[in-house]
Chains A and B, each alone.
Chain A
């Protein structure tokens, strides 16, 4: 079954609105990574969070890792058309084989002008 759950599956926003995608695991994660896949492209690494409660920012993107290391979120402030794509979270489940990542199903973001 799905080890890492991600919601929502789809999000449509008007340019300038905010966007958030959420990632949850029933088991503790050693780390959480976020990837972006543009339409027609392949997933590209955005960031990794390792520490409990960690918050990192990349310009308009804010990434959080929960205190219990079981959930994470990606928030985009004032979306732009260049933000269009599918955002995936991926975590390493504590105790699993070293290097193996468990991906969420992704959130497909559409931004209309």
Chain B
């Protein structure tokens, strides 16, 4: 079974903190994604990586950065957390060609206070 593992299920951070969300996949997938899920807004893509050290901005990259130094690991960084970044964050991965499904992690519920 493909496994996408996010480091934390729940996180509480203070405004202004630098926050790291980690995601690891074990299926040698080329593509990895970070989504943010808010009620009524669906899944919004923050960043997308299609290879090691390669990344592409998604729909809402402001306030976030990413790192992919190894193929299996994709990190989302909140440089200075703000309360409007309180949300559910979902990581996903997929194989590197067109017609493949995405596998999602369990999600990290981040609360910024």
User: Footprint of B on A, CB under 8 Å?
Assistant: 6, 9, 30-31, 33, 35, 42-45, 48, 50, 88, 90, 92, 97-106
Known: A100-B56, A103-B43. A31 touches B50 (CB 8 A): no
Interface size for chain B: under 10, 10 to 19, 20 to 34, or 35 or more residues?
20 to 34
Total residue contacts A-B, CB cutoff 8 A: 68
A105 touches B96 (CB 8 A): no
| Contacts from B to A (Cβ < 8 Å) | 30-31, 33, 35, 40-45, 48, 50, 56, 90, 92, 94-107
Using Cβ atoms and an 8 Å threshold, which residues of chain B touch A88?
A: 42-43
Q: Specify which of A35, A48, A102, A105 is in contact with B99 (CB 8 Å cutoff).
A: A48
Bound-complex Cα distance A35 to B43 (A): 11
> In chain A, what residue has the closest Cβ to B105?
A42
A-B contact pairs, 11 of them (CB 8 A): A42-B90, A42-B104, A42-B107, A48-B101, A88-B42, A97-B48, A98-B97, A99-B95, A99-B98, A100-B50, A103-B35
